[in-house]
Amino acid sequence: MKPKEAVIAVTYQCNARCSMCNIWKNPEAEELAPDQYLKLPSTLKTINVTGGEPFLRKDLVEVVKNIHTRVPEARLVFSTNGFKTDLITSTMKQIRGFHEKVGVGVSIDGMEATHEKVRGVPGVFKNAVSTLQELRRMGIKDLRIGMTLQKDNVEEAHLVFNLSKELGVQFTTTFAHNSEVYFQKMDNAALATFEPTYEALYAVLNCQLRSRSAKDWFRAYHIRGILDKSLREEFVSKCEAGARFFFMSPNGDVFPCMVMNMPIGNIRDFGTWDELVTREAETKVTKAVKACKEDCWMVCNTRSLIVAHPLRAGAWVVKSKARAHLVNRSKGQSARRS
């Protein structure tokens, strides 16, 4: 098991009260000592440092220093709700002093009223926007809005996408998943219930396809998976959870992904990563992943499918990109005629 990517929750402390996540109800969860992060696999290329709210962990800089020591060339992406602008910017300034390859994703789940309803805290929309603006002023280029789709906010996807363009940052999205392992919530609405309100997502997909950025084209492919259940069902047989990527909770429990409730072991109980992930453990994980029928679709899923079928993904992009430009041209001509 030589994973390239990991989602690492460094704390379950959280100052949000999100409707699609119950992590905030478990703020006293045990946290790994910073030196335990020196045991991470040296093969990692991308690490999502998350929570809870990761910036609430008081020794976050020390944790990240140890991650840097272990994988100095890895790209570290911090997921935050953006509530505490000053704390986030001051911490990122310290981290950039020793690790330049960083990105930050700030959660915005709708325009002001909707976002604050989803996040359960009044007055924080402006904080999230301010955090993005301040991080951009600091010179961090790898910035994005992360939007978690639910039945009640999917209609605003295009508005949030437009906001990302106004702020000069990227836009990513996924739908609210159920997970005992990570989100600690199992009653989020099934994706099929969103179907009548998919129009805003199609608008985002077409805008991303018309972009000059290859990254945006494959983000459109990710949105295609949200819209197309058959693509998600096909992905299940090609999932690389536990092989290409893994999830680690704040106390050091390692799982194949954020959804599968199948602990591989706890990193504290082993001297090295290879001692934790034995050949026997790999075989067990592989069998479990192949048997998994979860309807999930996260960025890690999309990457796995693109890696498995790069030509087919590329062909879809080329075909759909041409269609998106034609649709846009047709709309422009209609507008001129009217």
pLDDT in tens, 257-297: 998 899 999 999 999 999 999 888 889 988 988 888 888 88
Q: Does residue 338 or residue 81 have the better pLDDT?
A: 81
Residues 22-56 pLDDT 10s: 999 987 889 999 999 999 999 999 999 999 999 99
Percent of the chain with pLDDT over 70: 94
DSSP 272-323: SHHHHS-HHHHHHHHHHHHH-------HHHHHHHHHH-HHHHHHHHHHHHHH
Q: How confident is the model at residue 168 (pLDDT cuts 50, 70, 90)?
A: very high
Across the chain, what does the average pLDDT equal?
A: 89
Q: pTM of the predicted model, to two decimals?
A: 0.91
Q: How confident is the model at residue 196 (pLDDT cuts 50, 70, 90)?
A: low
- Asked if residue 168 has a cis previous peptide bond (ω within 30° of 0), the answer is no
Q: How confident is the model at residue 325 (pLDDT cuts 50, 70, 90)?
A: confident
Residues 213-255 pLDDT 10s: 888 988 998 898 888 888 888 777 778 888 889 999 999 999 9
Residues in the chain: 338
pLDDT at position 279: 87
Q: How confident is the model at residue 328 (pLDDT cuts 50, 70, 90)?
A: low
Q: How confident is the model at residue 1 (pLDDT cuts 50, 70, 90)?
A: confident
Percent of the chain with pLDDT over 90: 60
pLDDT of residue 69 exceeding 70: yes
Q: How confident is the model at residue 76 (pLDDT cuts 50, 70, 90)?
A: very high
**Burial code of 239-278, b = ≥16 C-beta within 10 A, e = fewer?**
bbbbbbbbbbbbebbbbbbbbbebebbbbeebeebeebbe
Residues 291-314 pLDDT 10s: 888 888 887 767 766 776 788 888
